[in-house]
Amino acid sequence: MKRIVFCGFRGTGKTEIGKLVAVELHLPFIDTDTLIEQNTGRSIPDIFHENGEERFRAVEREVMATLPEKDVVVSTGGGAVIDPTTMEHLRKESVLVLLVSDIDTIEQRLVRKPRPPLTNLPLREEIAELMDLRRQHYHAAADFCVDTSETTPAIAAETVIRILKQGVVKVNHRTSGMEFFRTGRIPPQALHTLQELLIGPDRDPLTRIMGVAGYPCAHSKSPALFNALFARFRLNYHYTWFEDPEISEIMMVARSLDAKGLSVTIPFKQDVMKYLDEIDEHATRQIGAVNTVVFACGSAIGYNTDWLGVRKPLVTLKGATAVLLGAGGVAAGAAYALTDLDMKVTILNRTPKNAEVLAGQFGCGWGTLEDIGKIKPDLVVNATPLGMHPDDHSPLSDDQLNKEMTVFDLVYTPPETPLIKQARRIGCRTITGTEMFIEQAREQFYLFFGIDVPGEQVREMIP
């Protein structure tokens, strides 16, 4: 039997419910906090207060690496989910059950059964602050979510066992989900796999679906990349293409199939926001576009990882003078990333009005493509689609570039665009769109699963 791992905030019932599930399934039970105390001969508050949280997490990581990989029920410490390496250990071949409770219930339980404080804050404030800090990590950890606020441990344990045996997706939703996928342009082999997973006689009720949402998106490389990552980290997930002209339809199907998450692409990055329960600060207030949706505990939460994909390869150019070509959705994320790196940014675009609007949003200069000569930038970032099509030319002429410049083309198909070829010929430092693709995919994987994949591993897996 797969390893069953309970995660969640203190006071949600991980140990009590975990023990009941273990008894019912005739499996041994391990509480990782107890194991840490046995292994070190010290109490957890002692390790925390004498050596700090970092040391405690290191000890916790070592313990997680030694857990049996199957036929066991494990209850983890409340903060274990924040450590990416711990998550990698815990997720291997496992089912992660996130237990949640409302703040009043947790407070009452911790008053009845006090535990050593984790901060200097009063109890309720401590709970609120830590739950908020860890929320994204709990969502990433959840294969399944069970609310223990208004229930007994025995009933919660029954719910967990029912989920383990049957999953949570209703038969009619699996059937209509299959009809939805048949209308998209999914390759026949991938459609066959989906059929096996959703309605096949040997289907595993715990396998979860996720995918890329777009129209069109059948060309997307994300399914091949994510499925390779699932195999690498031994995750019981399958990633596919959610292709439909209506994002409302995609969101409905994704929710009904209990999808873990979606990567959102053209043309839905703005429209999807209407269908979300929450949106993170970077995505809404600044960029106005979502490219990642995480479904957890009945909510759909939107994030933007495109801007991180632009930011990461440019961290050494903090404070540079930059020109951003284009003023569309990806340019908004790029403008956010460049200004976040304290760069002096000018947005140049085919339609100057669109550049002016975006520039106003981020406090940048603006103009037309011809204005590049007046600026003499250290960095040029191309956020137009020029370069994607075989007969495309570079957006700039040779005399608009010089060898002191760094040129970052966000277009990643083909990997070597006319702009990149031209910049290399002139002697500029170049960064290809593949770097952005790798970094934004790493961030997505982290939001979905709490695991930090090294960039080189992602690079090797890109088809």
| Binding residues vs ligand NAP (CB under 6 A) | 266, 306, 309, 326-331, 349-351, 354, 383-386, 388, 395, 410-412, 433, 436-437, 440
Q: Which residues pair with 409 in a beta bridge?
A: 382
Distances (CA, A) of 340 to 60, 337, 344, 363: 34, 5, 10, 11
Supply the minimum distance, in Å, between the C-beta of residue 43 and ligand NAP.
Answer: 47
Q: For 7, list phi and psi in degrees, rounded to 5.
A: -125, 165
Cα distance between residue 81 and residue 8, in whole Å: 8
Cβ of residue 236: shortest distance to ligand NAP, in angstroms? 27
81 vs 396, beta carbon nearer ligand NAP: 396
Q: Distance (Å, rounded) from C-alpha 195 to C-alpha 182? A: 10
Can you tell me the distance from the alpha carbon of 284 to that of 302, in angstroms, rounded to the nearest whole number? 9
Radius of gyration of the chain (CA): 24
Beta bridge partners of 99: 8, 146
Q: How far is the CB of 337 from ligand NAP (least distance, A)?
A: 12
Question: Residue 324 is which amino acid?
Answer: L
Shortest reach from residue 392's CB to ligand NAP, in Å: 8
Two tokens, residue 227? 């499925």
Of the residues 92, 260, 269, 274, only one is catalytic, namely: 269
Residue of minimal Cβ distance to ligand NAP: 328
Q: Would residue 260 be called left, alpha or beta, if left means φ above 0 and alpha means ψ between -120 and 50 degrees?
A: alpha
Nearer to ligand NAP, 109 or 421 (CB): 421
| Burial of 316 (C-beta count, 10 Å sphere; 0-12/13-18/19+) | exposed
User: Smallest distance, Å, CB 186 to ligand NAP?
Assistant: 21
Residue 407 or 436: the one with the smaller Cβ distance to ligand NAP is: 436
CB of 14: closest distance to ligand NAP in angstroms? 38
Contact 448, 138 (CB under 8 A): no
Helices 123-141 and 84-91, axial angle in degrees (round to 10): 50
* Closest-CA residue to 295 (of 125, 154, 407, 169): 169
Distance of closest approach, residue 223 Cβ to ligand NAP, in angstroms: 15
Q: Is 312 a catalytic residue?
A: no
Comparison of 116 and 415: residue with beta carbon closer to ligand NAP: 415
Question: Contact 458/412 with Cβ under 8 angstroms?
Answer: no
Q: Measure the CA–CA gap between 140 and 444, rounded to whole angstroms.
A: 10
- Least CB distance to ligand NAP at residue 395 (A): 6
Distances (CA, A) of 332 to 89, 132, 283, 351: 36, 27, 10, 15
What is the token pair recorded at 34? 């107890």
Tokens describing residue 33: 């906090």
Cβ closer to ligand NAP: 181 or 307?
307
Nearer to ligand NAP, 329 or 450 (CB): 329
At 285, the amino acid letter reads: R
CA distance 53 to 252: 41
CA separation for the pair 184, 253 (Å, rounded): 13
Q: Which is nearer to ligand NAP, 401 or 411 (CB)?
A: 411
Q: Which is nearer to ligand NAP, 343 or 396 (CB)?
A: 396
Q: Do residues 348 and 359 lie in contact, with contact meaning Cβ atoms separated by under 8 Å? A: no
Q: Which residues are catalytic?
A: 269
